[in-house]
Structure 1
């Protein structure tokens, strides 16, 4: 995405569910696993999949998806635990602040909100801490500011 462009928004509820189901069944094409898709899938799971606990289950879900599409989960690439927990907290915070609406309205609103920005975690973490091996492998506490409304394990 070029500088100045906004997020790629979703057309409808079904396009979001398609991303979420594709993540879970590992059928989503790797090229479709964008920043926006990450957030859409997370919000969909929080809102519509009460059988999944994001804080507990996203590591296994995303790691398995990465491997299924030819990726690797190691110290430099693939699943990143702290970033995942940070955005889970952001999704939950966004949902708590906003009223009910359609799935697409919620996701697109999130993508345009501060919590939906790629650099949102850097409000709480220094670059060195966030992109450390320790933060990739496990949830580390923020070193710049606390999360609004609590920690990243909400």
Structure 2
């Protein structure tokens, strides 16, 4: 049992399995948690230079959502602004990490940081703007404070 406000990953292999399952659309839906979103995205950015995250992240997550019976529409599924906000945060987090650091260390320290909190985007966006249809369907700039 852990008193942490997140579920840490046990090792690098667990994170790679999530990322590979996301790409292959084979990850069980129950495993697509907040932690999995952040772990897979960090892995993609850091360890998969063959994948242009900025260009492909929407298609990757949308395809995965549909593969597990989800719908990407105005009220559910892929949310572009939240995703791109976390991508910016993950890049910021990685910029301060040591080269060669274990993947599990990079991901678990992200999850333990303010950037890893589910409500981190609300530091930059009002609820109304962040949860708007426009923000779900495409990136909208912050209305409170610029993204880092």
User: Please, what TM-score do these two structures have when normalized by structure 1?
Assistant: 0.92
Q: Count residues in correspondence.
A: 145
Deviation, structure 1 residue 141: 0.4
In structure 1, what is the equivalent of residue 44 of structure 2?
Answer: 45
The reply on whether 1:32 has 2:28 as its aligned counterpart is no
Distance between the aligned counterparts of 1:99 and 1:117, measured in 2? 22
In structure 1, what is the equivalent of residue 59 of structure 2?
Answer: 60
Distance between the aligned counterparts of 1:139 and 1:53, measured in 2? 17
In structure 2, what is the equivalent of residue 108 of structure 1?
Answer: 108
The reply on whether 1:10 has 2:9 as its aligned counterpart is yes
Distance between the aligned counterparts of 1:132 and 1:54, measured in 2? 23
Deviation, structure 1 residue 6: 1.2
Distance between the aligned counterparts of 2:129 and 2:84, measured in 1? 14
Distance between the aligned counterparts of 1:110 and 1:87, measured in 2? 11
Deviation, structure 1 residue 70: 0.4
Deviation, structure 1 residue 5: 4.7
The reply on whether 1:117 has 2:121 as its aligned counterpart is no
* CA root-mean-square deviation: 0.9
Distance between the aligned counterparts of 2:5 and 2:98, measured in 1? 23
User: Please, what TM-score do these two structures have when normalized by structure 2?
Assistant: 0.96
TM superposition outliers: structure 1 runs of 4+ over 6 Å: none
Deviation, structure 1 residue 136: 0.1
SS at match of 1:85: helix
Structure 1 segments unaligned to the other structure (5+ residues): 149-154
